[in-house]
Structure 1
Amino acid sequence: MNRFLARSIQAGVVACGLIGLGALPATAAKDSITLAMPLEPPHLDPTAGAAAAIDEVVYANIFEGLTRIDSAGAVQPALAESWEVSDDGLTYTFALRSGVRFHDGTAFDSGDVKFSLDRAMAEDSTNAQKGLFESIASVETPDAETVVVTLKQPAGNLLFNLGWGDAVIVAPESVANNKTNPVGTGPFAFERWVKGDRVEMVRNGNYWGTPARLARATIKIIPDPAAATAAMLAGDIDAYANFPAPEALAQFEADPRFKVVIGSTEGETILAINNARGPLSDLRVRQALAHAVDRQAVIDGAMFGYGTPIGTHFAPHHPAYVDLTGSYPYDPDKAKALLAEAGYGDGLSLSLKLPPPSYARRGGEIIAAQLAAVGVATEISQVEWAQWLEQVFKGTDYDLTIVSHTEPMDIGIYGRETYYFNYQDADFKALMAKLNTTVEEGARYGLLAEAQEKLAADSVNVFLFQLAKHGVWNKDIVGLWENSPVQANDLTAVSWQ
């Protein structure tokens, strides 16, 4: 059916009531969108979970922070309309927007900011990115529209960090139910969640800023590549911002109904290693795994050529990137020699847990074959996303897994006291501590280069490729992000032309 077909108008009304009003438009502008994504979020509270799928639904749409990250990766004002930084870099004074209300009608003020930041920093916090707030010493509220954040030491990334989904502002009145009924201040309000199928939201008529152009938005969950392709071709969905079937992109490029956009993401895709697990605690074994994997073969076989090889945990589009792909060239003989040197000349067996994304499932089969060629047998387990979060991410019950880390500028995860890689290195932690207190850009880039080189030298993980963003959508849709500087399907400026 024509997407722009207007409602029919009775002939009598046209003749009797509209004579002399001029020509009527033949179509009515479409004001809703159905966008698909591959993974269903475990819940809808971005301040209480690590799954990227949470932010992909609610970031900028339902929830907002003091700052926000735009489509170019730059920091922009959000609930804070402006801020001032003291000369010593230790005090940030935020001026909040007035007249803002949460979707349930509750007024937004400085108390909500203090509540949100204190909650994120609390000892019992369930925030997956608690480290973002480590530099904060105190949060004060001199009045309803002013927040003063005092730091323990200068933090060069504070404004960027406050723009993450993990730092959105929530209200004490509604926070307890945000996992199933998210209440934010954004341009869209949550309507309903049909588990296993879709999340629906509607335009917030009381939004403090520029209203959303769309009256409704539905986010469908379609993980299967074949089903995603069929749904797009049939017109059941209007857009798929991270299309899971790269093998079908040529078909969409040849179809004039669609626009195909290949962008960049912050997704470092890795063969993650449990560094504390048996033979994997030996650097030589980890180096052997790195030499055994042919990155380009994985990109070609699992991603149909879409993806940029990486040699460390850092995005190639960032100006501080160091190309370390030559650190561990594909060399099966070298891999066998390193295994023999480590005492595993007769081979070893490891578990390989693969979450649902196609890059993991397809890539896992290819990598398993490459490892088998050097004597490393893998027992593959395909796990659902909730299982992966519980067993791998939280429980560290795994040897190897494949996942794309889509958080922006997240090299700091390797310096955490506890993280599922189980990488504990005092020198790396010292680098991160210095980076966190360094403001000058050139100095920060130098420290980031050192950190990248350290991770490669320690072969913490097998670094595979930077995930490309495969966008497929109706040619008449404008405003969708072409790149993914943060985990988001930002619909705030989307419309039909």
Structure 2
Amino acid sequence: MEHRLSAALALGALTLALMSSVVVAQDAQTGGTLRVLGTAEVDRFDTVPPATADTGSFFRATTRQLINFAASTDPQEQIAPQADLADSVPVPTDDGKTYTFKLRQGANWDAPGGPRQIVAADVERGFMRLCNPSIPAPAVSYFEDLIVGFADFCAGFGGVEPTVEAMKAYIEQGDVAGIETPADDTVVFHLNYAANDFIYLLTLPVTTPAPVEVLDYLPDSPDYRDNYISNGPYTIASYVPDTKVTLERNPAWQAESDPLRKAYVDTIEVIAGVQPDAAMQQLQSGDGDMLYDINVPPVTVQMLTMQGDDKISTLAEGASRMIWINTVSENNDGALRNPLVRQALNYAVNKAAVVQQLGGREFATPLNGIFPLGILGHHDFAPYPTPDDQGDPERARALLAEAGYPDGLSLKMPFRNAGNGASEAQVLQASLEEAGFKIELVPTPPSDFYPRLITNFDNALNGVWDLVPSGWSPDWPGGAARSIFQPQYTYDGTHGTFNFSDYNNEEANAIAAKALATSDLAEAALLWNQVDEIVMANPPTVPLISQTTVLYHGAGVQNFLPYAAGGNGDWTNVWLKR
């Protein structure tokens, strides 16, 4: 639904915004060292190789992309694409298949010879590095069939020897037909098909432009790290493996060229080897400022909430949990192929108990569809409503009887025997058994759960499992409906994917294609709503919860703003007041 402000409300909002900006301008302080505490070190300096999600904060500080997100407390602003290296967010032409970007002037590399303007060739070079044969980027799959000629370029790169010399020569002599650079300040992308999430894909760190100098080093090698070239507000000052990486101001960065990062602090120290309890103590004592890869423990959140601590905030990144239903096995004479049985499962589950088990509403919200909070396409609807999300065992039993199973069903449910896996499985078992299902829990080691058990289609076909609790996180925030629907809820003939029982719905697929093709994101959201409702009318899964990240920071940190793509507060927009 589109919300419209009246003229009076709009004027009031503008007045508040202006007042807020005045307050920020008066309060902001530059200088100081931001101390970020983590258990592990920053695992990648190069944006191309695989990296943990936590590196999003590091890349925010040291790299820039054509498009990015604003740090904000507003959930809608958090997921709205913003111009970063581009001077504006372009409207596609050619029926949504051509995107033309003008590069922002004054955006520089911290090059060995001094500051140097980022140019269009750097953008194309960044894409070329994605399919290098040394350490290719997993995210290259998003672009290979999308950008004209990119699949051919990558196929050729696969035959190149993974040495510096050979890879440099291939890139310098090569060309991607669908990435045109008609001028230093202009990049044109030609797509094979219209895809409105292309703008969101350009927020991924892997799309960072690459200066020509990096071709002299293997991706993320010691030489690459020793000769690091930044285009963000910070660059690497020093690095002690497994201990600390120190960032300092990038002298080539110009504040007026960067609408998304203020870079108030002088230095950022990312300190590794700190355990969660010790990190929380340091934040509360003032010896630390922010967390890197550490989740705030639920018991700590509850204590801080009771104390009225205002340094707690939350961020919905689009992560969710669900139960997959095996619709391909002959267990119980194929009972799970019956839509009434799957609807009964949706009525049966006590989602409120799952929320409580995860620590409460600060950590999770009941979910009724396939698109979680923080994703374009999420909407409030309840195809299987239950009182206070606590399940409706009577309704579930009635549907089971209508389906021909008045005595219930016996089902096998493997679960990932790590973290909250066992306690979650027990909560699910309790509510399902109250509704007439007998659940056999099967503890499974984490190393076997996904690679050997669930993504092995033979196990589904042979009835090794009937139900399985699972989770999913999109690769980018906001307009990431494709990265939820396509891998999980479409079937292209390839078994053993994250679509555990080969679910497919041609009506949903057709509407999803329309959702991707339209240039109107409001229309896309409504179309994804329809996809959600079609899937859930004949459900292959039982949505459980949207997961919420709880954020916390030290008392010295001011202007703490969540950055959705980093899953944390934005290092580049806080200032310190000690």
Bin of the TM-score, shorter chain as denominator length? 0.7 to 0.9
Secondary structure of the equivalent of 2:54?
helix
Q: Give the aligned partner of residue 98 of structure 2.
A: 91
Kindly indicate whether the alpha-carbon contact (under 8 Å) linking 1:287 and 1:328 is maintained by their aligned counterparts in 2.
Answer: no
1:183 Cα shift? Answer: 5.4
Question: Are residues 485 and 44 of structure 1, via their aligned partners in 2, closer, same or farther at CA, if it must alter by over 3 Å?
Answer: closer
Structure 1 stretch displaced more, 424-433 or 172-181: 172-181
2:240 is the alignment partner of 1:177: no
Q: How many residues align?
A: 463
Cα deviation 1:432-467 (Å, max 9, x = unaligned): 222111113443233111111123224333322222
Equivalent in 471, 474, 482 of residue 403 of structure 1: 471
Kindly indicate whether the alpha-carbon contact (under 8 Å) linking 1:239 and 1:473 is maintained by their aligned counterparts in 2.
Answer: yes
- Name the amino acid aligned to 2:124: K
Secondary structure of the equivalent of 1:249?
helix
Question: Are residues 85 and 52 of structure 1, via their aligned partners in 2, closer, same or farther at CA, if it must alter by over 3 Å?
Answer: same
Q: Give the aligned partner of residue 54 of structure 1.
A: 55
Q: Give the aligned partner of residue 205 of structure 1.
A: 251
1:215 Cα shift? Answer: 2.7
Equivalent in 168, 188, 213 of residue 208 of structure 2: 168
1:296 Cα shift? Answer: 0.9
Secondary structure of the equivalent of 1:60?
helix
TM-score by length of 1: 0.76
Q: Give the aligned partner of residue 25 of structure 1.
A: none
Q: Give the aligned partner of residue 371 of structure 2.
A: 314
Question: Are residues 162 and 382 of structure 1, via their aligned partners in 2, closer, same or farther at CA, if it must alter by over 3 Å?
Answer: same
1:472 Cα shift? Answer: 1.7
Structure 1 stretch displaced more, 333-342 or 136-145: 333-342
Q: Give the aligned partner of residue 232 of structure 2.
A: 186
Cα deviation 1:312-355 (Å, max 9, x = unaligned): 13244678543233426423455567778598955132321256
> Which whole-Å CA distance do the structure 2 matches of 1:459 and 1:44 have between them?
42
> Which whole-Å CA distance do the structure 2 matches of 1:454 and 1:314 have between them?
12
2:131 is the alignment partner of 1:131: no
Kindly indicate whether the alpha-carbon contact (under 8 Å) linking 1:263 and 1:471 is maintained by their aligned counterparts in 2.
Answer: yes
Question: Are residues 83 and 292 of structure 1, via their aligned partners in 2, closer, same or farther at CA, if it must alter by over 3 Å?
Answer: closer
- Name the amino acid aligned to 2:80: A
> Which whole-Å CA distance do the structure 1 matches of 2:50 and 2:404 have between them?
38
Matches within 5 A, 1:83-482: 85=91, 87-88=93-94, 89-98=96-105, 100-102=107-109, 105=112, 108-120=118-130, 126-128=137-139, 130-131=141-142, 134-137=145-148, 138-171=178-211, 173=215, 176-178=218-220, 181=225, 184-190=230-236, 191-192=238-239, 194-195=241-242, 200-209=246-255, 212-220=263-271, 226-240=277-291, 243-253=295-305, 259-273=310-324, 278=329, 282=337, 284=339, 286-306=342-362, 307-316=364-373, 320-327=377-384, 329=386, 330-332=391-393, 345=408, 347-353=410-416, 356=419, 363-371=424-432, 374-381=437-444, 383=446, 400-403=468-471, 405=473, 407-408=476-477, 409-413=479-483, 414-416=485-487, 417=492, 419-422=497-500, 423-425=502-504, 426-482=506-562
> Which whole-Å CA distance do the structure 1 matches of 2:322 and 2:274 have between them?
21
- Name the amino acid aligned to 2:382: T
- Name the amino acid aligned to 2:220: N
Secondary structure of the equivalent of 1:74?
coil
Kindly indicate whether the alpha-carbon contact (under 8 Å) linking 2:409 and 2:438 is maintained by their aligned counterparts in 1.
Answer: yes
Identical pairs, percent: 19
Question: Are residues 467 and 348 of structure 1, via their aligned partners in 2, closer, same or farther at CA, if it must alter by over 3 Å?
Answer: closer
Gaps of 5+ in 1: 1-27
Give 1 or 2: higher helix fraction.
2
Gaps of 5+ in 2: 1-28, 72-76, 149-177
Q: Give the aligned partner of residue 19 of structure 1.
A: none
What value does the CA root-mean-square deviation take over the aligned residues?
Answer: 4.2
- Name the amino acid aligned to 1:296: A
Kindly indicate whether the alpha-carbon contact (under 8 Å) linking 1:253 and 1:260 is maintained by their aligned counterparts in 2.
Answer: no
Cα deviation 1:165-219 (Å, max 9, x = unaligned): 3433345527743388475422222443644x66543332322446622233234
> Which whole-Å CA distance do the structure 2 matches of 1:219 and 1:283 have between them?
53
Kindly indicate whether the alpha-carbon contact (under 8 Å) linking 2:377 and 2:481 is maintained by their aligned counterparts in 1.
Answer: no
Question: Are residues 115 and 455 of structure 1, via their aligned partners in 2, closer, same or farther at CA, if it must alter by over 3 Å?
Answer: farther
Kindly indicate whether the alpha-carbon contact (under 8 Å) linking 2:551 and 2:568 is maintained by their aligned counterparts in 1.
Answer: no
- Name the amino acid aligned to 1:415: Q
Question: Are residues 48 and 235 of structure 1, via their aligned partners in 2, closer, same or farther at CA, if it must alter by over 3 Å?
Answer: same
Kindly indicate whether the alpha-carbon contact (under 8 Å) linking 1:83 and 1:92 is maintained by their aligned counterparts in 2.
Answer: no
> Which whole-Å CA distance do the structure 2 matches of 1:268 and 1:169 have between them?
28
1:70 Cα shift? Answer: 1.0
Q: Give the aligned partner of residue 83 of structure 2.
A: 77
Kindly indicate whether the alpha-carbon contact (under 8 Å) linking 1:282 and 1:342 is maintained by their aligned counterparts in 2.
Answer: no
1:470 Cα shift? Answer: 1.9
Cα deviation 1:368-419 (Å, max 9, x = unaligned): 54456531222234638xx878668987889634435253232213224564
> Which whole-Å CA distance do the structure 1 matches of 2:248 and 2:85 have between them?
20
Kindly indicate whether the alpha-carbon contact (under 8 Å) linking 2:53 and 2:566 is maintained by their aligned counterparts in 1.
Answer: no
> Which whole-Å CA distance do the structure 2 matches of 1:362 and 1:59 have between them?
35
Kindly indicate whether the alpha-carbon contact (under 8 Å) linking 2:413 and 2:441 is maintained by their aligned counterparts in 1.
Answer: yes
- Name the amino acid aligned to 1:403: G
